Structure 1
């Protein structure tokens, strides 16, 4: 049996190494190109993109920040960093206040992250509820309207009086899940041990 010359053996090793390097380069290009191509196909041909709406309320870009609402009472009773369920209680106040109190309780362990603000009405505040009055009626107001305000004080969603409670509950639960609470973790101080 005849052995291959050393030069031919070296050329075969070089070509195998070159093939391996080309394969690695193609694999690296594929790792970055496949997700981009997949996203482009999804957007262009609308494949795999949900069509349904997730929010039951309407977006509220015309509603100013809570600090700019024309309210008589100061809002110090509201917890800073909480989501706020504000509702107009100018008609059928007792029933509305009870309805939103029950929804608040139904949030379970997430309930402490939400505060209720009743605007209007004569009765006493229910547990966990702050009460305020309008100084004048703003143009974006309507009787029985409900607003969901984020922790920064911006109105996110608004609901008409006839809204289904399940829809509001779903929206609040979804927003709380998507915006986890950022509790301050106890940190160790290096100098004090």
Structure 2
């Protein structure tokens, strides 16, 4: 092979190195080969549910104003279910203070760190033993069936917290308003 032939071969190999990945990617998109399912959340998206302030509940309290909320409907066997979500809350580690828990229904005292509320009416979208994750503004984000694995909820919650970081000074702003008594600079 002559020198010019080797140079042409090198040039063709160079073009192939850059063109081959583009051709493979185009084929994957065109024929849907090797494309992941696209599922990222284990729960069901809940855009049709009303915001928390419109739920027919007695008073609802959250630990922090900017907290995400784990709300679970508990008409029976509340101690077992509450313990399950308490353990999940603890598994969040340092992010646990960004999440509050709300038990809806059931008798007895809630576990530490959880609030208790009751249904004043039963809405048509209510499903007993259901768990919802609500954003800091009270919008339902994800809903889970009663048999959901706690690890799936934990994965989703960690992902939501990672994708929606807390403002860097939020903890200090809350602490200074408590220490200062909330007196607006007086």
**Aligned to 2:56, which of 65, 70, 79?**
70
In structure 1, the gaps of 5 or more residues are 1-33, 187-193
Per the alignment, in what secondary structure is the counterpart of residue 57 of structure 2? coil
Q: Which runs of 4+ in 1 moved over 3 A?
A: 40-49
TM-score by length of 2: 0.72
**Aligned to 1:113, which of 98, 116, 126?**
98
Q: Deviations over 1:139-172 (max 9, x none)?
A: 1111100000011211000001111111101100
Deviation at 1:76, TM superposition (A): 3.6
Q: Deviations over 1:21-69 (max 9, x none)?
A: xxxxxxxxxxxxx9xx89x947545477432411111111221111111
Cα separation, 2, equivalents of 1:96 and 1:161:
9
Cα separation, 1, equivalents of 2:167 and 2:29:
33
Match in the other structure for 1:19: none
Cα separation, 1, equivalents of 2:137 and 2:33:
36
Residues 4-153 of structure 1 aligned to structure 2 (within 5 Å):
41=26, 43-46=29-32, 49-73=35-59, 75-153=60-138
Cα separation, 2, equivalents of 1:45 and 1:129:
49
Provide closer, same or farther for how the CA distance between residues 61 and 77 of structure 1 changes in structure 2, counting only shifts above 3 A: closer
Q: CA RMSD in A?
A: 2.2
**Bigger Rg over Cα:** 1
Instruction: Please say if residues 62 and 140 of structure 1, whose CA atoms lie closer than 8 Å, have aligned partners that are also in contact.
Output: no
Provide closer, same or farther for how the CA distance between residues 82 and 48 of structure 1 changes in structure 2, counting only shifts above 3 A: farther
In structure 2, the gaps of 5 or more residues are 1-18, 173-186
Q: Tell me how many residue pairs correspond in the alignment.
A: 149
Cα separation, 2, equivalents of 1:120 and 1:126:
13
TM-score by length of 1: 0.70
